[in-house]
Amino acid sequence: MVRFVAFDAVFFLLPFGIYALWLLASRRPVNSVAEWETRTIGYLALAGAILLVAVLFAFIHFDTEPPGGTYIPAHMENGHIVEGHIQIPP
C-alpha cells in the first residue's frame, strides 16, 4: 500500500518539482509566496492529476496478461526459486 501511495505522490508532485526547477533556472525565489499564486497551484494540481491518471492508465493497459492464462505460484526447482507467473495456453 505504501508503494502505491508513493507512486501516486511522485507522479502528482512531478509538475510542482518541474515548476520549482524552472523558478530556480530563471533565478526567481522558490520560497516566495508571489511565485506560488493560487492559480498557479491550481494549474499544477490539474496537470499532476492528469499526469497521474495517464500514467495509471498506461500501466494498467500495458501491464496486463491476456485472459485465459493459468497462474503458476512461486516454487522451488533444483534448489532455485522460480517466481510466480501466468502461463498462457498454446
49-81 residue pLDDT tens: 999 999 989 888 887 777 788 889 999 999 999
Dist. CA 49–CA 38, nearest whole Å: 16
Q: Which of 2-6, 8-12, 62-66, 71-75 has the lowest mean pLDDT?
A: 62-66
DSSP character at residue 27: T
Q: What percent of the chain has pLDDT over 90?
A: 54
How many Cβ atoms from other residues are within 10 Å of residue 84's Cβ? 10
State the pLDDT at residue 62. 83
Dist. CA 11–CA 21, nearest whole Å: 16
Say whether pLDDT at 83 is over 80.
yes
If you search the block for the grid coordinates 502461463, which residue do you land on?
A: 87
**HSE-up of residue 47 (Cα within 13 Å, Cβ side):** 13
